[in-house]
Amino acid sequence: MDFSLDEELTMLRDMARDFADNELIPRATGHDRKEELDPALFGMLAELGLMGLTVPEEYGGAGMGNLALSVVLEELNRGCASTGVTVSVHNSLVGAPIRRHGTDAQKAEWLPKIASGEAIGAYCLTEAGAGSDAAALRATAVLDGEEYVLDGNKLFVTNGAQAGIFIVYARTDPEASKSRGITAFLVPKETPGLAIGKHEKKTGIRGSSTVEVVLEGCRVPKENVLGELNRGFHLAMDTLDGGRIGIAAQAIGIGRACLEASIKYAHERQQFDQPIGNFQAIQWKLADMSARLDAARLKTYKAAWLRDRDEPCTQASAEAKLLASTTANFCADECLQIHGGAGYTDDFHVERLFRDARITEIYEGATDIQRIVIARGLLAS
């Protein structure tokens, strides 16, 4: 058993780390305050191969896997969680299902655009009445000749403002049970009947776009069905197995930024005529943060390793997301506590880390849902 990264992954990690240090960290506060990403970043990320990291080389991608993506996402999110989630969704929730379930024609059309960053990807599953209960979605797709007509509203769509391609889930068989009769569709941004609605004002990850997508008589050809007709819920859950690994890596990156900021402050801050890092109360906080982060990283790497081998990873990805997201919030809380009153102001970026960490326990499956998934796996064994 080898716990070290090989030469290729080490070089990839170092490249992503340098990019985070030189390009993301200097921009992160601006992204948060302006509530948008610097558009120049998309070209930079694509040039480095990070927009198509898991896209096969034949389609212009790097041809790497989920472990490589996890390594990269930790580094990017350490620098800017808004950038990190943008890259995660683009790769794991859009690029991956097209690669895994798309037809040859769909792959040929969209994977090169995803790899180059020409088309940013967005994932449209959540609705007002369909959050944790995703199978309760009410958006419809009705066959009319050679086209499907989509109607409905999707909420909390990450990347929606910049997206060139949307994966939309809609009900194609209203008579089927909740988890059946749902189909996934590829919907280009220029499709008539697709419009961007409300832009959400968020507590954290403010630089990433989160929008409502409105579908009113939105027509797409039958060829735009992704995967099997009426099997979209299965496709969505398979996709989320990979997406949860990405969010676990995001959470580790945020938690690591908290630990690094805490170590720095423990050296600098003087109280009682000595650095606060000399006090056991601070040392124990740092130790707990480090131990939890290392455990979360190992679990995330295992889940990614399983997915790269097409082995069952539903329970492992849920465990990774559960452990990493709770760890990120633990680290953010301890980091702010170490910084004291200064950490509660925007003079330090720890308050942003505190806000960014919170969403990792909510999206792509809330913490409570991860526990349900894990328990079901245990009881079924």
Task: Return the active site residues.
Answer: 364
214 burial via Cβ count (<10 Å: 0-12, 13-18, 19+): middle
